[in-house]
Every structure is written in structure tokens, then in C-alpha cells.
Amino acid sequence: MDQLPSTLCCPKCNTQLVPRSHNELHGVCSGTCTTCGHRIRFRAVVNEMERELQPNPVCSVTLLVNGRQYRVPDVDLEVTLNDWLKEQPNLKGTKHMCQEGGCGACIVALTRYDIRQKKEVTKAINSCLFPLVAADGCSVTTTEGIGSSRSGFHQIQERLAEHNGSQCGFCSPGMVMNMYSLLKANSKPTKKQIEESFDGNICRCTGYRAILDAMKSFAVDENPIDIEDTPLRQCNGDCRMCSHSSCCQEGVALNGMKADAPTIVRCLGGSSGMTRFKPSSVEDALALLDKYKDTGVHIVSGDTGKGVFKYEKPAAVVVDITGISDLTAVSSDGKVLTVGSAVSLSVLIAELEKYQQQDMPQGSRLTKLALHLKKIANVAVRNVGTWAGNLMLTHIHANFPSDVFTIMQAAGAQLNIANSSGSKRFSLPDFLHVDMTGQIIVSIVIPFDEPNEHFLTFKVMPRHSNAHAYVNAGFRLVTTTSSSKTVGKTVAIVYGGIGPFAIKATKTEQYLVGKYLSSHDTLKGALSVLSSELHPDSPPAAASAAYRKSLALSLFYKFYLSVLGSTASQRLWSAPSSLYRVVSSGAQQYSSDPSKYPLTQPMPKIAAKLQASGEAVYVNDMPIFPNEVHGAFITSTQANAKLVSMDTSAALSMPGVLCCIGAGDIPAGGVNNWRCLKYETGQLPEPLFATDFVGYAGQSLGMVIADTQAHADAAARAVTATYSPQGKPIVSIQDAIAANSFYPDTVKPLISGEGDPNDALKASKHVVSGEISSGYQYHFHMETQRCLTVPTDCGLDVYSSTQWMDYCQESVAQVLGVKKSSVNVTVKRIGGGFGGKIINSHFFAAGTSLAAYKLNRPVRVVANLDTNTQVVGVRPAFLARYQVGCDDSGKLNAIVMTVYCDVGVTNDEFFGDKFQSFIDNAYYCPHWKVTTHPCKTHTPTATACRAPGAAPAIFIMESIMEHVAKSLGKSAEDVRIINLYQEGQVTPYKQPLTYCSISSLWSQLVKSCDYHVRREAVEAFNKANRWKKKGLSVVPLKFGIGWSGAPFSCIVSVFAGDGSVMVTTGGIEMGQGLVTKVVQVASSTLHVDIDLINTRPSNVLTAPNNSTTGGSVGSELCCAAVLSACRQLLEQMEPGRQQLPADATWQQVVVKCFGMGIDLQAKSWVDRSCTNVFNYNSYGVTCTEVILDVLTGEHQIIRTDMLYDCGESINPEVDVGQAEGAFVFGLGYWLSEHFIRDASTGQLLTKNTWEYKPPSAHDIPMDFRVSLLKNAPNPLGILRSKGGRDKRMNGLMDRDRGTDGQTRQTDGLMD
């Protein structure tokens, strides 16, 4: 050893340490601090002067998970923390869905040493983006680590469950760990801080209200806890019985020290040749950049950019700068704030907010920057992602809309960039032209406010959080004096989202210098100049160029008015400000009858706590089987084309790949058609693998089988195909109409009323004509399509995430040419379905089972989000052309309508009949004619999605009511109320309404929500404000429930000895509370405690030939089956009960019956039909108030009041949660979820969380009130209840549609 540092500093206790021996110290070494016991890793340098950069590599990673130490040898540098966690026994609680940092299902708590703060800090991170190698020396906490059914649940898990905040449960572990991480960092957060921290967690089931209520119960003004009093539990608190002596203590970072030289980790596995360095100084980093500049170097800190650009080839050399203390520094000289490039966005926000807390006037620009930065990505991404990384993304990718770049350029910030020759300062525009090879961003310099400065930024995006901008902008202007409206020499106008990079409106800036802002001519001239220099591009997935240009002009106008302030007209004062979101609240009202408990008892889902703790098992949580492999589907990239050839050679040469499977591997007797002939006789087949003609982009061409899912996915992307296009793809209804591309009409026109509806239309005093369309909607179930198939000596065991076991069994048997009885399908629970797993799931099951059959080994397929959205269908789009006849009051006389539906490449799932059954909604019209046409397009076959056919039909009907009202100069509510159904009237499909509560519900809700008072307030607000408008609407709903063709069965077993009960049904638990209601019914009928009842997974052996769990009937029909079986069981047990005293216990009766040889099991089959279309109707009314920014189209839902009739609810808490979830599901359909396909290839462009935006927790009503109609038993329902879990998604049909400013004129803008 030539030279060794004389001392080391312990990063935990700061003790100066000396190695006990220098003998044979070389490379990376480790030791233990003699003061505090902290584990320290360091590198001994052979020659300090030469600082050799190529020592022996470290090939392993050491980390703590829930207090237990793991050493991972030969780590693959591309493996994420989430990938690794899922492979570990007893660590299945952490989920994944998008693998982009966009859903929050994968969130865990990461504790590591912060070299800037010189202490350990805990942050929520997306484990799907975080490399396993980056967790070296860190402590990771997952939901299993904070509580379980065996060791006791953590309060976060308990409160989430008790507030009914876990439905399907797939998002619950991420929710729990997000809250846990927040409490570790801030034990006394406010309600607002809590709500803001949930900007990156998606829940598709609950509607968020229950989740937010649960988490806000930890707020400082509610019921906070001391997170330190809730230690990790692995051994139930008794460490004497545990081999892991520290498992009941919070895990601490293992390797946080500042090293003297780079630490190197070389991948020995799947990414051969990759090297990862972690230098401790800028000089070391630059030396590495110079050394490997010809190889390709990627500088990382948070490495979150791969969530957007996830398929980029990784660099051969990665330099991790998180260990460089100089790059984590933040300093200020009172004039500028200098921030190091390794500072995360979260830390930057906190530093900027300090100036607001210190009430420093010169910090106003900084606090506005902080506010904007909170709109970038989400908390978990901002916790590790850096501002410099954000800038580098836009430097590398011209199409990346960097908010950091836009607002920092407007703020006049500059960058310090270093290379081996020294450091230089660059403006942000100049930075875009700097060759960053061999260079590193060191810091950003942000100036404080100038005197008389006005600074404002904007971001307009598809939803209120975790979305990139349509347009972002930053404006800065200095006036000559504090009271003057004359512009000085400083003007900055910067836009993002207009072109490939952010642009500076230099001509407008120059025009404004010296101008007097209070002059109307100045504004008019500025808008004219600005319009002339804005030339938006037209990326295929972006909002239209016209909208973005209009939006850019509007944002400038808002800034202009902000500078004018009170000197502008009072009607304009509200224009400059963005819509402010208050902390949300909710209220739930319902009745229950304690004398009937557990029926009518409001109670959380039985499995809710298991879901929150990660103990609830989904398909991909099942243990890994011996010899198991993974599969991924090869998908096409061209629609409407012949498949010329396919090259799999690149895929087969990739690490871990075993083989490729195609149509030629289907065994003799099987067929290349996964759609069941049994259920769809006369319909078109759909191949499992396309062999000649490719109907749509995303259609499956084959499968790749590999040792891991990641390897299978990567190999599937490596397969290339050549196509011979057969013409331009038809990808929309409009395309189909233009090309006359239709399937034969399979649904007869709906015609009702005496005489010809067209004659009635002509006889009407007023005829209103129009066209309205609804779009597509992806289900966005948090658990993507998944299947595990295991060959056995009896056939195949298929574990599928499906809503329909029988169809799954039939599909697999049909493709393989085997008996159905050899295919055993089991479903325990699924992570959300919404109709997307009624049919779509069987494609995945058939492919997985074919691979397992061919290889004779277990095969698991977990569809990634891209595959999940492209391969199978979604809610179809509808277009209606209508003519409506009415009188002066708006009373309907006749409706004639032609409807088009995009059914895709086959007509197997055309919802024309369902559309016709719901088109009337809640309104009586004596004459109807509705004709439906299925459009043939080059898109995946349409499929059911929450309220299939019904949601678009009701939307179209409500749009018609709006149109009629507008044409007559009346309010929509006035027209609606005079057309509401009355009891005894007959629907267009000839069903008499023997019970109809819609008028009563309307009256009750209008009164309870103070509609008339609020209407006056809305009108007054709109009169006083030109550019902010409020809207208030009341929308009714009739939703039919039909049982025909939906058989379900169940088995109820009683066990002698303890009298416990086991129940299994053919229904699938997907979050709707089916299992909970089934247990309540069994408990009530048998008169036993709920704790005595257990349930088992659904299975085709115990529930053969059962229907799909869908159509809003699964829960009640399974309850009917259980009710019948329990009654049958009681009859069987009656002879035994008769021989015992009247006060005999249940257990005594069971023992007696067993002794008498009485069968303690009963099976029930329920198959109820109906002479009408529906067995009964559910009714509801919703009142919603919104505020709209007319200049931008942004909105906030101020308040929603919902009242609906669900009969006598078996479980009101579950039914309220279903109503809230359905409503928010509808918000996405109407407001933020959009499908865009490439016109030339047919490829789906909105296939991931970057482009597809379901509602977030910040999109729900700020005041969300749900009431169940009291004292309204349903004599036609099961136990007086009603189904209809999907009906309330239509509660926002009548929303005030704001202008985006495209027709705005410049005259009068200052009035």
C-alpha cells in the first residue's frame, strides 16, 4: 500500500476512524464504526496521485429490506428494485403496473444517508424506476415491513381499510407506503400537505375520497401518530425468537459515507459490459467522462427519465453523481440562489419555499417557481429526480416538454457547466447547443427579483397533477417604477409546448419595451405580434396546434392583466389567477337497521387490511414454481396489412431467451382462435396469432419465452416484421363512415309509439337536429392482464386474472384441442376489471397455456402496460345523428336517431342492443326510432367497459336535452324535469315502470343541495367575472338491472368440531365487495358470527358453467346463491337441531348433525330470467357545480351531491364507495382520457401513463357528498337490495363546456 488516508469519518456519528490494519487493503473495503456500529464501506487507493479508475469491480449489492440484510451477488445493472422485490419470498406486497413512475403502485420507503444534510432521510420512491444497484447501502421498507395480520397491522393499514379506502386493493400497498414515507419525513403534516403528497398514486376503484379521508386522519389537527412508535415487525416483537436481531428496529443506511474514490459495480449478468461508477468529487466524475467519452456515458442521479423514454438502449457506462457533495450544495449570497445539479426537485422546492416562510420580498420569484415545480411529475419522482436531469432530457430529446427549462429561462437563470478544462456559465438557450460530451452540469444560478418586477408561470395540462403540459409558460417584466405601468428594458416571454424546444417570443419582448400597459393599443399590438411569431408544431399525440396557439395567447393575456392589477376592469380581476384547489372533503348519508345486522351493516371489505398490508394474493404474487418461465407477446406495428415476414433472430440471441412460439405450435385438434365458438356462434373468429393478414397495430404475432419477464418483454420488442400495407387503416368512426366500412346490422332498429316516428317528428312544433359523439376509454385496471399456467398430471392449472372463468376454460381448451375438464381455472381476486377482463383476459390465458402446454413447464405472463393497452379492446366510440321533436315547453314528442359504433376488427362485441336499452335514460318520449350500425375498423375488437353501451347512450341523451333547452332558450333543468318518467309509463323497449322514484329523488336532491340558492349565486358570479365562469347542473339517471343469462352457483360447507363455515362462489372479487356481501348474507342466514366464515377462491370445479361477473349483477346473484344454499343447509340440519334444546349453540347443532350423518354441505345454482329487458331499475340524481377558466379550459369541480336509490343496501359503506368510484371513473371518460392513433400505421399513441390520463386524487370534487335513498327496499331484488355498481359514472353529463379562447377577439379585453 503506497498511500492510505490517515482517517475515515463515520457518516452517522462523525467519529474519526483509523483502519486497524493496512495489510492487503486494496479496492473496496468495509468495516464497522467502533463508536456506533455503523457499517462503512471505503476504497483503499494504491496510488493517490494517479487515482486509478479501473480497480476490481464490486459485483454485489447489500441492502436492508424491512430490517433484514440482503446481499445480492452478480447484480444486473438493469434490474429495478421492484423486479428484485417481486422475486423474494414474502415480499410480494409491492405491486407494479405502469413501470413508468406514473401510477404509484410500486411505491416503497427508501432510507439513505443524505450527504448534504449529513443524516439519514426517508423518501417515497417508485421502485419500478429505481435501479437495484442504486439501493446499495440503503434501507428499503415495504408494506409487509410495517404491519401484517400476524404481527399486527400498522395504523396506516388499519385506517385505510376502516375508511373503506381499499376496493380491489392493488393500489393499496403503494398508498400505504406513500403515507408512511410522508410521516417519516414529517410526523405532523397538515391536511393540505397530505393531499398534495398523493399526486402520483392512481386508484381506479374508489374515487379517492375514502383514501384521502383515511390519510388525512393523520393530520396534525386530526389524530396524528408518532411514526417512531410503530417499529418494523418481522417477529411479532419478540427478537429472542428471531434470527434477525435488528428486525424490530428501523433499518438504517449501510453505505452513506463520502468515499475517497469511485465505487465501481460491473454487471456480470444480463447487461454484459455495463459499468456503474459512483464518484465522490466533480473531478473524479469528469475524469470518468473523459476516459469513457468514446464508449457512451450516462450521468444519473434519480434516473427517473426512463419512465418516459423507457425503451432506450442503456449506456455502457453509468456515472452516479449522488455521492458528490459539491453537487448537492445549495447556497445564496442574497442576490442569487445557487443549486447543485444533484439536488432533487423535492429539495429544490423546499429550498425555494424557505423564502416564502422567511417573508423575504426578494423571494417572490422563488416561491412562484416552487409552486410551478410541484406540478412536475409526482412526489415519488421528484424525491429522486433532479432539476438537472429534467434539463438534460430536453437537451437530448427535443420533444420533452421541460417545465424546468421554461420557467428557469423566464426567471433568467443560468447554468454552470464544467469539463476537465474548467467551468463556464451558459444561458439556458445556449445550453441547448452545448455538446455535453465530457461535460457535466454543476449548478444553476437563479437570480432574486429585480425591483418592480412582475413574474408569473403557467402550466395547462390534461389533469391537475402528474401530467406534462399542453403548454407551459413563464413571463417576467419590469416596470419603470413600482406604480408605473410603463415597461422597462427587462421583458421575458417563454413558452413550452409550442415547438420541439421551449421558445422565446423575442419580437413581442422587444415590442413591449417602453410601452404603456394601460393602453388598449399596447395589448392589441402585443397580441398581434405574439400571434405572428407563434407557430405550433403538430405532434400526433399532442393537442391541436390551433388550441395550443390560442392557449399561449391566453396565458400572455392573463399575465398582462396580472401586471395591470386593480387598474384593470373589476370583471377581469379573477382572470390572471389559476384555479385554486382547497382541501377536499366528503359526506356520506345512508340508513341501516341494526336489528338486521350483519345485513345492512356498513362495514369495510373483509380483505381490506390484507390488501393494505400486501398479504392479499393476486396472480403475480403466487410463489414461483420450479422450472417456471415467462412469456411476452410479439405485437404488430402496422394495421390493415399482410404479414410478409417476421425475424426473431435478434430476440433469440438475447440473454435468457428460450424460444419463440407462433401459430404453428398450436397442437393438432386445436384452433388458432381464442374467441369461444360456444358463446359467439355466427360471429367472427379472432386468431391468437396473426399469420397472414394483420388487422390492427398491436395484434399478436407470436410469443417470446424467457427466464424473466423483463427479458421476455425486451426480446419481444426486438422481433421485427415486414408488412405489405393494404391501404390506409380505418381507425375511427368517421373513417368508417367515409369508407362505408360496416358489418351487417345485427340489432334491429328500436321503434316505439303509435305510427311512424318520422311522421310524429314532422308534426312536432320544434325539431332540433344535431350530431354528438363519445370517445374510447381504456379500463386502466391497476392489475394488468396476467396469467400463470402450470401443467399437471391432470391437465393444466390456469390462474388467470379474469372476470369469467367458464369462458377462460373454454378458450384454453379450444385453442389446445383438449377437453374442458382438463383445464382447471382458479381465480382468487383480481386487481380491478371494469369489464376489461370479461373477454380480453382469455387471449392472455390462451397464449400462456399454449406456451405451458408446448414446453410442459409453468409459464407466467404479466402484460406490460403497452401490451395491455394495444393488444385487446377498450370501450368503443359512438356517434349519433339525431332529430328531436318537442313543443314550446321542451316536452319530447319524437326522437329519430342513427347511431354508429366502432366495434373494431370483429363484430363479436357490438353493444347496439345495450345502447338502445339505455338511450331513454330517465325521460319519457312517446315516439322513438333508434338505428344502430357497427363500424368495421382496423382497431382491436371493442369490449365491455364500466356501464357498456349505457354510459355513451346516457351521455348522448343528456346532450340532446341540453341542445333542446338551448334551442328553446330554457334551462336544461326545466326541460329535464318536465320529461322525467312517471310511474306506470312504458319505456321504448316496452317495459312498464311499475316502480319509478326519479321525480321524488329529483325533488329531494334539489332541496338538500340548496340548488336554487346556489343557482342564483352562480349567476351572480358569472355576471361579475368575465373569464371565470361557474356552472351548476342536475342530472337524473335510470339504470336497468337484468339477470337473464347470468347463472351463478356456490357451495357452503360447515366443519364439524368448531362449526366454522367455508363459502365459495362462481363470482369474482374485483373490489366491488362481492365476498364481503356474500359473508354478510351467510352470517345472517345461518345466524353465526362473521368471524366463523371463511371464503375460498373461485374455481371451475366448484362453480362450473358460471356467468361472467359483470353487468352490475355479480354480487347480488352470488348473494342469492349463498342465501339459497344456506337455507338448504339449515333444512338439512333441522333434524339435528330438533333433538337439542332451543338454546343450543351453533357448534352444538353442528356436532349433533355430524353425529347423525347429516351432510353439512349445500350447493346452490341460481339462474334467474326475466320477461322484460330488466328485472328492475335503479335511480339516481346528481348535482354538480364546477368553475371554469374560460381562457384556458381548466376547471375544478367545486361540489357534487349524489342521491341514489340502491334499495335496502346489504352494505351501505361498500355501495357508497362503488358510487364514488363510478363517478370518478366517469370524470376520466368525459374530461381527461383520450385515445389517439397514428393515421398511417394505426398504432396507439396514448398507450402509457405519459399520454393516457385517468383522474388523479386532485381531480375529484372538492366537496363530495353521497347519499343513499333511505327506507326504499326493493321487493324485486335480493334481500331488498339493488345492484348497479356502474350507474353513477354518468353524474357529470351536463357540464358547462368552456371555450378555449379560439374565438376570442382582442376588442374589449380590458373592459
Instruction: Provide the pLDDT confidence category of residue 888 given band limits of 50, 70 and 90.
Output: very high
C-beta atoms surrounding 245 within 10 Å = 11
Which of 348-357, 475-484, 1023-1032 has the highest mean predicted lDDT (pLDDT)?
A: 1023-1032
Is 766:886 a contact under the CB 8 Å cutoff?
A: yes
C-beta atoms surrounding 779 within 10 Å = 26
Instruction: Provide the pLDDT confidence category of residue 1288 given band limits of 50, 70 and 90.
Output: low
Residue 895 predicted with pLDDT over 70: yes
- pLDDT at position 251: 38
- pLDDT at position 58: 63
Q: What is the identity of the amino acid at 240?
A: R
- pLDDT at position 270: 40
Instruction: Provide the pLDDT confidence category of residue 267 given band limits of 50, 70 and 90.
Output: very low
Listed in sequence order, the residues at least 6 apart from 553 whose beta carbon sits closer than 8 Å to its beta carbon are 527, 530, 531, 534, 1301, 1304
- pLDDT at position 1283: 80
At 560-576, the pLDDT tens digits run 999 999 999 999 999 99
Cα separation values, 665 from 634, 847, 895, 1250, 1305, Å? 15, 11, 53, 36, 65
At 683-694, the pLDDT tens digits run 789 999 999 999
Written as nine digits, the cell of 423 is 467551468
Instruction: Provide the pLDDT confidence category of residue 1286 given band limits of 50, 70 and 90.
Output: low
CA neighbours closer than 13 Å in the CB half-sphere of residue 130: 28
Instruction: Provide the pLDDT confidence category of residue 225 given band limits of 50, 70 and 90.
Output: confident
Q: What is the mean pLDDT of residues 1124-1150?
A: 97
At 1000-1012, the pLDDT tens digits run 999 999 999 999 9
Average pLDDT, the chain: 91
Residue-by-residue DSSP string for 860-893: EEE--HHHHHHSS--BPPEEEEEEEEE-TT--EE
Residue 893 predicted with pLDDT over 70: yes
Q: What is the mean pLDDT of residues 431-439?
A: 97
Residue 794 predicted with pLDDT over 90: yes
- pLDDT at position 355: 80
| 853 SS3 class | helix
Cα separation values, 445 from 79, 300, 329, 413, 432, Å? 35, 21, 12, 5, 17
Does residue 687 or residue 223 have the better pLDDT? Answer: 687
At 120-146, the pLDDT tens digits run 999 999 999 999 999 999 999 999 999
- pLDDT at position 570: 93
Q: What is the mean pLDDT of residues 86-111?
A: 96
Residue 21 predicted with pLDDT over 70: no
Query: Residue 605 and residue 166: Cα distance in Å, rounded?
Result: 8
- pLDDT at position 32: 64
Cα separation values, 120 from 184, 251, 1117, Å? 11, 10, 54
Spell out where 439-496 has E strands: 440-447, 453-460, 471-479, 487-496
At 924-962, the pLDDT tens digits run 999 999 999 999 999 999 999 999 999 999 999 999 999
Residue 809 predicted with pLDDT over 90: yes
- Per-residue burial over 512-528, b if 16 or more Cβ lie within 10 Å, else e, is beebebeeeebbebbbe
- pLDDT at position 254: 47
Q: What is the mean pLDDT of residues 482-509?
A: 95
Residue 51 predicted with pLDDT over 80: no
Is 1074:1118 a contact under the CB 8 Å cutoff?
A: yes
Instruction: Provide the pLDDT confidence category of residue 19 given band limits of 50, 70 and 90.
Output: low
Residue 11 predicted with pLDDT over 90: no
Q: What is the mean pLDDT of residues 549-562?
A: 98
Query: Residue 1216 and residue 1213: Cα distance in Å, rounded?
Result: 5
Q: What is the mean pLDDT of residues 26-50?
A: 53
- pLDDT at position 291: 92
| 1170 SS3 class | coil
Q: Could you tell me whether strands 1093-1095 and 1061-1065 are parallel, antiparallel, or unpaired per DSSP bridges? A: parallel
Residue 176 predicted with pLDDT over 70: yes
Residue 46 predicted with pLDDT over 80: no
Question: φ, ψ for residue 1042 (rounded to 5)?
Answer: -125, 135
Is 1267:1203 a contact under the CB 8 Å cutoff?
A: yes
- pLDDT at position 60: 84
- Which residues partner with 276 through β-bridges? 265, 318
- In angstroms, the first-to-last Cα distance of the chain is 81
At 720-763, the pLDDT tens digits run 999 999 999 999 999 999 999 999 998 999 999 999 999 999 99
- pLDDT at position 34: 55
- pLDDT at position 729: 98
- pLDDT at position 769: 98
Instruction: Provide the pLDDT confidence category of residue 26 given band limits of 50, 70 and 90.
Output: very low
Which of 5-9, 54-58, 187-191, 250-254 has the highest mean predicted lDDT (pLDDT)?
A: 187-191
- pLDDT at position 235: 47
- pLDDT at position 646: 98
Percent pLDDT > 90 in the chain is 84
At 1147-1197, the pLDDT tens digits run 999 999 999 999 999 999 999 888 899 999 999 999 999 999 999 999 999
Residue 862 predicted with pLDDT over 70: yes
Q: What is the mean pLDDT of residues 21-30?
A: 48
Instruction: Provide the pLDDT confidence category of residue 1299 given band limits of 50, 70 and 90.
Output: very low
Of the candidate ranges 243-257, 724-738, 1012-1026, the one whose mean pLDDT is the lowest: 243-257
- pLDDT at position 1170: 84
Q: What is the mean pLDDT of residues 1075-1092?
A: 98
Listed in sequence order, the residues at least 6 apart from 1092 whose beta carbon sits closer than 8 Å to its beta carbon are 1058, 1059, 1060, 1061, 1083, 1146
Listed in sequence order, the residues at least 6 apart from 1171 whose beta carbon sits closer than 8 Å to its beta carbon are none
In whole angstroms, what separates CA 535 from the centre of its chain? 33
Residue 10 predicted with pLDDT over 90: no
- Per-residue burial over 945-965, b if 16 or more Cβ lie within 10 Å, else e, is bbbbbbbbbbbbbbbbbbbbb
Instruction: Provide the pLDDT confidence category of residue 1308 given band limits of 50, 70 and 90.
Output: low
Residue-by-residue DSSP string for 231-286: ---SSTT-GGG-S-TTTTS----S--S--SS-EEEE--STTTT-EEEE-SSHHHHH
Instruction: Provide the pLDDT confidence category of residue 607 given band limits of 50, 70 and 90.
Output: very high
- pLDDT at position 1261: 98
Residue 1099 predicted with pLDDT over 70: yes
Of the candidate ranges 49-63, 318-332, 352-366, 881-895, the one whose mean pLDDT is the lowest: 49-63
